[in-house]
Amino acid sequence: MSHLRLSPTPRRRTALRCALVVAPLAVGLTACGSGNPLAATPRDASAKVSFASAGGGKADPDKPLEVSVKGGTRITDVTATDAAGRYIRGELSADGKRWNSTAALAAGAHYTVRVSTEDSAGHPGRKVLGFDTTAASTGLHVAFGPDAGTYGVGQPITAELSAPVKDHAARAVVESNLKVTSAPEAGAGSWYWVDDRTLHYRPQSYWPTNAKIEASSSLDGVRVQDRLYGAADKPLTVHTGDRIEALTDAGTDQMTFKDNGKVVKTIPITTGKPGFDTRNGIKVVLEKQAFVQMKSESIGIAAGSSDSYDLPVYWATRVTWSGEYVHAAPWSEGSQGYANVSHGCTGMSTDNAHWFFDHVRQGDIVQVVGSQGDTMAPFDNGFGDWNLSWDQWKKGSALGGSAATAAKSPADPADTPASAPARLRPQTA
């Protein structure tokens, strides 16, 4: 809300100049002290000032605050602040008779309004009013993810909304009240609207190593749309560890494991055979399971077919919800480093899989190149966020332009929505 003041009237300026011209300086100052109406203590202007939205109990935050004056009185200044001292924008009519807020009031908030006036004789007046706005009937909550802890530098920050937000302007309100910071600083970052309830946040490049990342919402009481207001929610703090990157080359059947840019280990591997090609692209470690019973039925392969399997698998690191893992595959050690014979997973020896399992955490990067498979979709099969260029990513923000839906890979019968219970998610071998 603007803090507006009107200049003194021409009549008062003329009177002041005359007093100073016709008398010595000391006399002139005395004349100003005793005769200038602006020097007088402001009178109580309660009888002249009315509040259209603030009288009679709590005010409706969906309606603008209106201030008006009667008779020969005019408004010279209005300030309206909430309990935190934040101003509400407003505008004053040309004749000084009316003022109204031009920004939405917050729900469940307390405001103090200070109105300065002047009567026809130039005498100042003052009216101060405190009022509350009604609480929101429904609140929009934000749940940040992942859980507090330490993650790899590829882990996106997520925000799940308790109600859908479809309107672009409403999305901009939500997004402008969601804040993500990191120390050390991560540089440019942005939210992406995955759908009406889900946002992902990532910087232009991976997070800094050993960083503290904080996500918070200032939506409490903020009007989002219609009768929907933001609610208070807990902030999130997570940390990053080292920059771990596992580069899987399906063309050479080798994995190069890097820690903070330094090659630590090169591991012979096998990836998906023709018809079950491993997806290319940047993937993020989703979870680790020391043991998984992998069954071909979970990816649509009928029991008894030539490609069916039912295998005990150890040291399994999941990178897609549709069933891609990095895991121990002792049955294919003869092909590891030479040929691709799996059903989509990255297989390696038991010792190497155990070592890999122990050296990665959720959020670490596993990138696949050289495969004949499609590129991993950005959002429907885990965290493929980094497969969008920075320009593509920014288009998903409601603040930087119209939100764009990222293109998805062709439908895969093995794909399962990320919201499916973990025990029902498929596995490949």
Place of tokens 């997570």: 238
pLDDT band at 22 (very low <50, low <70, confident <90, very high): very low
Contact 34/124 with Cβ under 8 angstroms? no
Confidence band for 303, pLDDT divided at 50, 70 and 90? confident
Q: Are 134 and 98 in contact (CB under 8 A)?
A: no
DSSP 196-222: SSEEEEEESSPPPTT-EEEEEE--BT-
At 59 the pLDDT is 81
Q: What are phi and psi of 274, to 5 degrees?
A: -55, 135
Please give the pLDDT value at position 263. 98
- Is the pLDDT at 373 greater than 90, yes or no? yes
Active site residue 345: yes
Q: For the segment 198-224, what is each residue's pLDDT rounded down to a tens digit?
A: 999 999 999 999 999 999 999 999 999
Among the listed residues 327, 343, 354, 359, the single catalytic one is: 327
Three-state helix/strand/coil letters over 128-141:
EEEEEECCCCEEEC
Residue 304 pLDDT: 72
Give the pLDDT confidence of 243-274 residue by residue, as tens digits: 999 999 999 999 999 999 999 999 999 999 99
Query: So what's the pLDDT on residue 51?
Result: 74
pLDDT in tens, 320-355: 998 999 999 999 999 999 999 999 999 999 999 999
pLDDT > 70 in the chain, percent: 82
Whether 32 is a known active-site residue: answer no
What would the pLDDT profile of 378-412 be if each residue is shown by its tens digit? 999 999 999 999 999 999 999 974 333 333 333 33
110, 239, 343, 345: the active-site residue: 345
Q: At what angle do helices 10-22 and 25-35 cross, to 10 degrees?
A: 150
- Does the pLDDT of residue 277 top 50, yes or no? yes
Do 18 and 32 contact (CB within 8 A), yes or no? no
Cβ distance 133 to 108 under 8 Å? yes
Q: What is the distance between the terminal CA atoms of the chain, rounded to a whole angstrom?
A: 62
Give the confidence band of 155 by pLDDT, cuts at 50, 70, 90.
very high
Q: What is the mean pLDDT of residues 62-66?
A: 85
pLDDT band at 58 (very low <50, low <70, confident <90, very high): confident
Residue 75 main-chain phi, psi, to 5 deg = -85, 130
Q: What percent of the chain has pLDDT over 90?
A: 55
Phi-psi bin for 108: left (phi > 0), alpha (psi -120 to 50), beta? left
Model pTM score: 0.71
Q: Rounded to the nearest 5 degrees, what angle is found at the Cα of 417, between the Cα atoms of 366 and 425? A: 75
